[in-house]
Structure 1
Amino acid sequence: MKNILYILYSSILFALASTGSFAQEKEPEPQKKIVVKAFAKPGAILLRWAVTDKYAWKYSNQYGFIVERTTVLRDGKPLTSPEKRILFGDTIKPRPPKDWESLVRTNDMAAVAAQAIYGATFQVNNKEENELLQVFYESEELDRRFGFSLFAIDQDFEVAQYAGLGFVDTDVKENEKYLYNIKSAIPEDRMTVEPSGVFISTKDTEALPQPTDFFGYFYENAFVLVWEYDQLLPYYTAYNLERSEDGTAFEKINEVPITKLADTPYSGVSYTDSIPQYGKKYWYRIVGINYFNETSPPSEATALIGFKEIKAEPIFASANITSENQVALEWTFAEEELWKLNKYELLRAKTAIGPYKTVLDSIAPDQKKVTYGPLSNINYFKLKAVGKHQDFKESPPTMVQPVDSIPPNKPEGMKGVIDTLGIVTLQWKKNTELDLKGYTILRAYRKDQEFTKLTKRNLRNETYIDSIDMTSFDKAVYYRLIAEDHRYNESIPSDTLILVKPDRIPPTSPVFKTYEIKNGIVNLSWINSSSDDWASTIVYRRDTSDSIPQPWKKVFETPYSNVTQFADIETIPGKKYAYTLITVDQSKLESEPTPAVVMDIPIQLIKPGVKGLYAKVDREQKLIQLVWNLKAKDAVEIQVYRKSNKEPFTLYQRLDPETNRWIDQRLTANTTYTYAFKPVFKDGSIGTWEEIEVKY
């Protein structure tokens, strides 16, 4: 609720800060400060200011403001000693309650501002306004006073002066330019409020811009006037709306200035005016009001005419087919609305929702019957009653269909799926007949079984959800589709759709037949699953050499039933492996794993390692260079291990078997390192372990 208050008083603060007349930033500062705006006119400088904080406003009502004027230029030249003076002779505060009495009787904004400043409790008893004010009654007391006070003085410069937030300096000269500095008189030990100033002379007059984008339109027996608001907010806080009967003499029609009370996504504002007389032309224009009660040039005028809209709609009473290709339509229309009519139009479409096209125009307002032809297989008609000012009302549609004995076409494109819960989803292509009424679904569980209807009423859409018994022994379900038109003509059935039920029974497991190790290669053979929906057999392997269980890894899969053996050439000597088999059926269901067989791969003989291992220490370059020779051709890598002092060996580097030189730079001074080299070969065997100790 506070937000609505802030919308009211932020309109002035943000508008003030958005012009070049301020020594302020566009974004409000977090500290308490004064914002000021000035307006020059011949013989006077008008000043208007406000504070950005409710507590600053409260204490300002008690202590007031100091308006200091400094004469900076005279005859266009800077003064060597600028002349300073305090205007008003003292602090400027809100006038005492007694001074407000006469103004309050004639000025609603003065009443609101006076009540906000001096009222014991801030309440407004005007029942006509309680819908707006009830929102503010629920907010905090000081928020209400602050928000309504700034809103009221924003609308009336005279009220701003009474509230101690405005001043007119008439002791000015045309050849002088002044710096006005507005300071708070609140003691600094109570509150600090940042001052603000403006540099201006009586020659710095600014022509007020003409309001733009003003237009109006007739809507629901009223005139709606709309114009741009946010764009001119730096200039105008409110507007007067003027109306004319001849386009020359205009009169204000709003009792209070028109302003925007809420922050909306739209930059414009609107006003609704009742129509004094229908059928008569009126002109409207707006005049902007700035912060100093100065008015703008009037906007361009817009002309509007009000008229009585048609309220009743025509209703078809009958639609009789007079021949094979012609229909006689009759309708009714409210007698009291006839004087508003200009004509009728007959509209026709292929579907109830349209689009409709005019097929007969300029039917007389007193006519109640018309004959139309030729007809299509199906026709939808509407009658449009057109008013004298192009307003209109349309009748509800009525369908006309000549004698029809032709059935719809055979439905096509039927397809479907069954999930594991027995839910069947069916879809098909839409028939193109205009008189299509719907579809009927038929189902059977065997080819030779009679199909039965699943729906009592015709389906309107091209989808259907069915459920079937998954526990029955039937492996498939059969569907057909029939289309029907509005004359109950049925198409021939669609092609039969056969859907196979999902398989929920896993296949039986395969069985190992033989298994052996030959030349380091594991050879397996098996007997496939006996399930008739067998799809493939998978071989899994797991390394069981360590105490920590390793995951199963798929090493072979065959979709061919005559392939029942596998040779595993990717084993490592000295390792222990377990093997198991799984069957996968056509529904992707897996069998239980075959009991595992465990195979120990014998260790191969150790092959020769590196030769001529030599180390060279370069303490200036801070490195150790190692050189060796390896003649084996089937090595895949050389593993380098390193340890220091009493620490164990750790794998330190993997090198290409073609490499015969390597440099170690990750060293610590005064440390003894031991390097070990071990080649690894393609068949998984390893070379001899060669070590060398290096003092660094």
Structure 2
Amino acid sequence: MNLQTFPVFALVLSTGCFSALPASGQFANPEVLEIAASGIFTADQHVLLRWTPANPKTWAWCRDSGYLLVRVTLEDTNGPLPGDEQSASIVQKTFLPKDQAAWEAAMLIDSIVGVAAGAYYGEDFTVASPDNEGIVTAHNIESEEENRFGMSLFAADVSTLAAEMQNLLFRDTTAQQGFRYAYIIRPGGQTGDQLLRPGRVSLSTDEVYVAPAPASFNAAPGDSLAILVWDQFATAGHYAGYNIWRSQNGGPFEQLNTEPVIATEGPDGKEPKALMFYARLENNTDSFSFRICGHSPFGFDGPFSETLTVKGVPAPLRAGIGISRTEETTAGMEIHWAFPDSLNASIQGFQVLRSGSHDGNYALLPSGMIAASERSFVDLSPLPAAYYKVAFTDVNGNEVTSNPQLAQLRDSIPPEPPGQVTGEAVGQSGLLRIHWSPGNSGDVMGYRVFMADQPDGAYGQVSKRWIRDTVFTYQVNVSSLTPYKYFRVKAIDHRENTSGFSPVCAVALPDIVPPSMPVLKQATPQGGGILISFAPSQSADIQQHHILRKKKDERDWQSVAVLDSLWGHASAEFFDTTAEQMYTYEYMIQAEDGAGLKSNSRVFRAKQSAGGGRETVGQLDAHFVKSEGIIRLRWSYHNTYGVTGFAIYRGPQPDQLYESGFVTAQQSVTGGQYDGPDPFQADASGMHIGDDAGNAVSGGHLPAGSFDLKQKGAPNTTHTTFCEYRDRSFLNFKPYYYAVIVKYADGTFSPMSNVVSASAY
């Protein structure tokens, strides 16, 4: 045979085999001459070594240059050997490539050797499609080099002779009991400056390798067939393939397969957990016993599995049977079926089965086995509606059943309406689920569902057709103006007779609309707190109102109080007694409905001043200054901290005042008297605040036009500021009445001062 023309097959390699390969292009380092090795100590006191090149480069090198094996004795029966004795124990063996004559002779013994020979020496290494029952599975491998590499290693895994021809197996018969050896396998020839990673094995001859038996072996009978299944994943690390053995009627066991049965990758790139083998049986009458064993990459078969015995099961008679017609007679319901008369001798007879539903449990009618020549049967006690099947039993006891056929008695009486109907919303999207109790009628085929916007409104069908189930879902518009949808159900029998309506079921729609906004009217500082006035939300489903508060410039709102729905109240008030003095607060009313939806009012600000309110101005005086042509107002005020200005009210009568002017604190100040602690006096720490020139000053009277810390003041300080306002727009000989209100930056203001009057002349 010419080695250069030997055809080969591509295959998917078992990842559990000794020579398992990484995926294409995924070798650890394709440029290193690397060898992987493993070894075992057998019961016959020999060491078996197996190795494999780790990448195509190493494979090609060793194909042409062979291998070098070195053995070093590490320990004897007395313990570890010193370094010089280890060096003296070194034994080397060279494995040279086999010549063509040796390959051709080996191929005549084992055809698998030809696979390796084709990979080694084939001139045109193309992928051919194997037979369906071959030992390999066709697989598209990316490159010819990887194809050759993978095929040769696969052949070594499943054939001991193929491994020996490739110099990938060695039996050390000189190993001694109780010793430990190190084996080093490296590429042969002159490797020069090539990067090397030799294979290394260290093992003790005290540890005898015990191969496991195949796991979870099962056998199932078929028609002249036995289906064998076992867990190959449990022993994949020990075996490259499996052999099947069979015994007929207690005779000797013979191997069925000519090549090992192997696990191959599926479309997902993974091996199956179980292997399956179909064994043909000569007949269905003899008993056949089966057992399996694994084939190790080290060249031996492992122990047998348990032995299982099966007998073939004849297949059912291949003949069709079907109900041809049903007919209501005075005697009952007559069932007719079709079956080939020519096969009467091949069956034992017929049986008729009945069920109240298509997919229900079919009961055998009490007729016994009907003769093979009969083609009809009368059900003497038929149901109003029932499904029938006809089955034949062949001479081997196999039963074959027809498809169901509906048969109905003539009926004009409608079924009873369904029982109680209930429903609920599923989530917030508008999906409603309706379910009901079946009525007492036994011939109900299905149901129709109807819906209306009012309990006594016009109901329209919302189920597209009759439905068999007692549960129905329907999508509605959640923005409907009505808070409920109303449902009723009708039952339909097999004669299309329709029942009356079921009781009404009201289903609440999911609430996605927040309540109407409450209206915050005012937040007024009063003695002892701040009075909150608001109009509650008028939504029908309102549950409660929250009084929310936060300090100015803070982010988080705090709940001061939770009030009930306040249903029917046009207005409500809440007095907040927890507000701290001199702080500006923001207030908001929040309404919440039964679905947890909320709406907020607008925000009002208020400040609780010391003593419960802002202080009015004092010492207000108004008089005409003829020399200047003005009416001059003068007043005093304590602590102008936070004051934005003074509103001047004027009118022809004391009760007819209106705001006629506004001046800021800076514009109105003419001087002041500071009555608190001296902020310019050095404190206990030696720190002090100076004047504009940086000089320390004392308290006391302030010159007119000076407006600094002593006039502005600060919270919780005491001082007196003198202010004035000049009115230049007036008529002579007409009295004018004046008052002043202080306005603050936080929106609060003082009560109106006392009213004074003056007139020009």
What TM-score comes out, normalization by structure 1 length?
0.69
**What are the within-5 Å matches in structure 2 for residues 674-689 of structure 1?**
none
The alignment partner of 2:279 has SS state of: strand
Q: Distance in 2 between matches of 1:244 and 1:209?
A: 22
Q: Is the aligned partner of 1:93 residue 2:96?
A: yes
* 2:576 alignment counterpart: 568
Task: Provide closer, same or farther for how the CA distance between residues 73 and 215 of structure 1 changes in structure 2, counting only shifts above 3 A.
Answer: same
Q: Is the aligned partner of 1:555 residue 2:556?
A: no
Q: Distance in 1 between matches of 2:123 and 2:541?
A: 92
Q: Is the aligned partner of 1:465 residue 2:471?
A: no
Q: Distance in 1 between matches of 2:263 and 2:251?
A: 28
Decide which of 480, 493, 514 is 1:485's aligned counterpart. Answer: 493
Q: Is the aligned partner of 1:110 residue 2:113?
A: yes
Any conservation in 1 of the 2:520–2:604 contact (CA below 8 Å)? no
* 1:62 alignment counterpart: 64
Any conservation in 2 of the 1:309–1:340 contact (CA below 8 Å)? no
Q: Is the aligned partner of 1:353 residue 2:353?
A: no
Q: Is the aligned partner of 1:374 residue 2:376?
A: no
Deviation of residue 603 (structure 1)?
A: 2.8
Q: Is the aligned partner of 1:247 residue 2:255?
A: no
Q: Distance in 2 between matches of 1:537 and 1:292?
A: 84
Q: Distance in 1 between matches of 2:547 and 2:475?
A: 40
Give CA-to-partner distance per residue, 1:451-488, whole Å, 9 cap, x none.
4444563233421425469687x776544322222233
What's the % identity of the aligned pairs? 20
Q: 2:474 is aligned with what amino acid? A: I
* 1:600 alignment counterpart: 607
The alignment partner of 1:117 has SS state of: helix
Q: Distance in 1 between matches of 2:154 and 2:686?
A: 85
Task: Provide closer, same or farther for how the CA distance between residues 578 and 8 of structure 1 changes in structure 2, counting only shifts above 3 A.
Answer: closer
Deviation of residue 437 (structure 1)?
A: 2.3
Q: Distance in 1 between matches of 2:425 and 2:294?
A: 69
Q: 1:189 is aligned with what amino acid? A: D
Q: 1:192 is aligned with what amino acid? A: L
Q: Is the aligned partner of 1:37 residue 2:46?
A: no
Task: Provide closer, same or farther for how the CA distance between residues 415 and 188 of structure 1 changes in structure 2, counting only shifts above 3 A.
Answer: same
The alignment partner of 1:408 has SS state of: coil
**What are the within-5 Å matches in structure 2 for residues 610-629 of structure 1?**
none
Q: Is the aligned partner of 1:149 residue 2:149?
A: no
Deviation of residue 315 (structure 1)?
A: 0.8
Any conservation in 2 of the 1:507–1:584 contact (CA below 8 Å)? no
Decide which of 191, 194, 198 is 1:190's aligned counterpart. Answer: 194
Q: Distance in 1 between matches of 2:346 and 2:520?
A: 94
Deviation of residue 574 (structure 1)?
A: 0.7
**What are the within-5 Å matches in structure 2 for residues 37-436 of structure 1?**
37-38=39-40, 47-68=49-70, 84=89, 86=91, 91-105=94-108, 107-120=110-123, 122-125=125-128, 128=131, 136-168=139-171, 172=174, 179=181, 181-186=183-188, 187=191, 189-197=193-201, 213-219=216-222, 222-233=225-236, 236-262=239-265, 267-291=273-297, 293-295=299-301, 300=307, 302-323=309-330, 326-335=332-341, 341-360=347-366, 361-404=368-411, 405=413, 407-417=415-425, 423=430, 425-431=432-438, 433-436=441-444
Any conservation in 1 of the 2:532–2:574 contact (CA below 8 Å)? yes
Q: Distance in 1 between matches of 2:401 and 2:104?
A: 60
Task: Provide closer, same or farther for how the CA distance between residues 118 and 200 of structure 1 changes in structure 2, counting only shifts above 3 A.
Answer: farther
Deviation of residue 238 (structure 1)?
A: 2.9
Q: 2:185 is aligned with what amino acid? A: K
Q: Give the RMSD, CA atoms, in angstroms.
A: 4.9
Q: Distance in 1 between matches of 2:44 and 2:586?
A: 106
Q: Distance in 2 between matches of 1:72 and 1:585?
A: 86
Structure 1 unmatched ranges of 5 or more = 16-29, 606-642, 649-684, 689-696
Q: 2:328 is aligned with what amino acid? A: I
Any conservation in 2 of the 1:285–1:302 contact (CA below 8 Å)? no
Q: Distance in 2 between matches of 1:408 and 1:373?
A: 26
The alignment partner of 1:12 has SS state of: coil
Task: Provide closer, same or farther for how the CA distance between residues 268 and 476 of structure 1 changes in structure 2, counting only shifts above 3 A.
Answer: closer
Q: 2:193 is aligned with what amino acid? A: D
Q: Distance in 2 between matches of 1:529 and 1:228?
A: 72
Task: Provide closer, same or farther for how the CA distance between residues 441 and 94 of structure 1 changes in structure 2, counting only shifts above 3 A.
Answer: same
Any conservation in 2 of the 1:227–1:269 contact (CA below 8 Å)? yes
Q: 1:191 is aligned with what amino acid? A: L
Q: Distance in 2 between matches of 1:126 and 1:106?
A: 24
Q: Distance in 1 between matches of 2:387 and 2:496?
A: 19
Q: 2:575 is aligned with what amino acid? A: A
The alignment partner of 1:11 has SS state of: coil
The alignment partner of 1:353 has SS state of: coil
Task: Provide closer, same or farther for how the CA distance between residues 267 and 600 of structure 1 changes in structure 2, counting only shifts above 3 A.
Answer: closer
Task: Provide closer, same or farther for how the CA distance between residues 93 and 394 of structure 1 changes in structure 2, counting only shifts above 3 A.
Answer: farther
Any conservation in 1 of the 2:524–2:531 contact (CA below 8 Å)? yes
**What are the within-5 Å matches in structure 2 for residues 491-506 of structure 1?**
491-498=499-506
Decide which of 570, 574, 577 is 2:585's aligned counterpart. Answer: 577
Q: Distance in 1 between matches of 2:42 and 2:528?
A: 106
What TM-score comes out, normalization by structure 2 length?
0.63
The alignment partner of 1:154 has SS state of: helix
Task: Provide closer, same or farther for how the CA distance between residues 200 and 518 of structure 1 changes in structure 2, counting only shifts above 3 A.
Answer: closer
Q: 1:555 is aligned with what amino acid? A: V
